């Protein structure tokens, strides 16, 4: 039987920041346990915290950026993908103006990440078209 290691981390499902331990065997996450002494969740986890880890080992999970070339997705380096996105954003903004964009951020992100998303939309893109699914 493989040795099970516990890796302390923070739940990725919302901005609350619950502490949990990933149970790892042979470099695969096989389970989750709440951190009993963590001040945020004190040994409790919601359903997503307990069972929302299966995607980690999914063989269909993307592990590198893809760019569509000639109608097909091709693997790209991070530098190539980021340059491509920056060029496309600049071109659309130049052709259609900043209000051609809208930003939607995620309740799974931290407050700081959501702040950065709205700051990017307003300060870099120049639009106030921003929303967050956490408000509903």
Listing DSSP states for the chain in one string gives -PPPEEEEEE-SSSSS--EEEEEEETTEEEEEEE-TT-TTTTT---HHHHHTTGGGG-TT---S-EEEETTEEEE--HHHHHHHHHHHHHHHHHHH-GGG--EEE-TTS-HHHHHHHHHIIIIII----EEEGGG-
Domains and CATH numbers, the chain: 5-57 (2.20.25.90), 62-96 (no CATH), 97-136 (no CATH)
pTM over 0.75: no
Q: Output the pLDDT for position 16.
A: 84
Residue with tokens 């996450």: 29
What tens digit of pLDDT does each residue of 90-124 get?
A: 999 999 999 999 999 887 777 888 899 999 999 99
- The token pair at 116 is 């950065």
* Structural tokens at position 132: 């967050």
């Amino acid at each position: 039987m493989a040795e099970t290691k516990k890796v302390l981390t923070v739940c990725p499902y919302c901005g609350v920041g619950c502490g949990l331990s990933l149970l790892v065997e042979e470099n695969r996450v096989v389970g989750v346990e709440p951190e009993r002494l963590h001040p945020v969740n004190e040994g409790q986890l919601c359903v997503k915290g307990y069972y929302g880890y299966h995607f980690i080992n999914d063989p269909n999970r993307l592990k590198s950026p893809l760019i569509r070339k000639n109608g097909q997705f091709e693997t790209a380096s991070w530098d190539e993908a980021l340059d491509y996105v920056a060029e496309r954003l600049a071109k659309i903004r130049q052709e259609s103006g900043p209000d051609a964009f809208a930003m939607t951020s995620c309740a799974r992100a931290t407050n700081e990440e959501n702040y950065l998303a709205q700051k990017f939309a307003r300060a870099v893109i120049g639009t106030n078209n921003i929303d967050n699914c956490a408000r509903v």
